Amino acid sequence: DAGVIQSPRHEVTEMGQEVTLRCKPISGHNSLFWYRQTMMRGLELLIYFNNNVPIDDSGMPEDRFSAKMPNASFSTLKIQPSEPRDSAVYFCASSYSSYGYGYTFGSGTRLTVV
Amino acid sequence: GQQVMQIPQYQHVQEGEDFTTYCNSSTTLSNIQWYKQRPGGHPVFLIQLVKSGEVKKQKRLTFQFGEAKKNSSLHITATQTTDVGTYFCAVAEGNTGNQFYFGTGTSLTVIP
């Protein structure tokens, strides 16, 4: 298995532009998570899907952020419009939803908004 | 989400010395997981603890869950330069066991 695949690895965009981050979870995993990592705030859980359904999006910072999971093998995190304070590393992770499985993280997308 | 504190925030050790990081919660935890993140990398799952007082070992790493299930520790014996990275604990919300919130992490530097 290739693991959790995220794209792009790096994204530099201008303030106000739309940014779309992509994630392909491990085949068979039915839970998917989006995290954001910054020095100031650490690893923050943004949203959690189970069987493609959003279960908890309370971590999504504001309406500029949205996430979708149209099928079991693909998810997107969109920021529109982007702001400099959105600069961070965004990780996607997947796991089995059964109790007690660890997460497998992707390599992350480093987003810089200038 | 859960509020989880880890101490220390940073630790520098000479190669060969031991290292311990602690994870503390104000609430009783259903389970706890530990992850390692190398510089520039992504978190990698190490282990999960479920039972009160549980102790698990992976080579030079020893993981312990407190008797009251409110704290946990990770101890590394005789550190090596390959141990460099940030160690995170992660705790589950409620009893569902699958939605984890990460602690603040302990950054370990090993001086050769």
With CA atoms as reference, report the closest residue to B19 among B30, B28, B10. B10
Q: Tell me what pLDDT residue B100 has.
A: 86
Distance CA B57, CA B16 (A): 18
Mutate to test the interface with B, among A23, A41, A43 (most CBs of B within 10 A): A43
Q: Is the pLDDT of residue B95 over 60?
A: no
| CB nearest A45 (choices: B41, B45, B101) | B101
Contact A43 B102 (CB under 8 A): yes
Strand, coil or helix: what is A28?
A: coil
Q: Tell me what pLDDT residue A1 has.
A: 64
Q: How far A105 CA lies from chain B's nearest CA (Å)?
A: 6
Q: Tell me what pLDDT residue B92 has.
A: 80
Amino acid at A69: M
Q: Is the pLDDT of residue B93 over 80?
A: no
Phi-psi region for residue B40, left (φ > 0), alpha (ψ -120 to 50) or beta? left
Amino acid at B48: Q
pLDDT digits (tens, 9 = 90+) for A21-47: 999 999 999 999 999 999 999 999 999
- The per-residue pLDDT of chain A, averaged, comes to 94
Contact A104 B33 (CB under 8 A): no
pLDDT digits (tens, 9 = 90+) for B23-77: 999 888 888 999 999 999 999 999 999 999 999 999 999 999 999 999 999 999 9
Distance CA B6, CA A98 (A): 27
Question: Could you count the other beta carbons within 10 Å of the beta carbon of residue A65?
Answer: 19
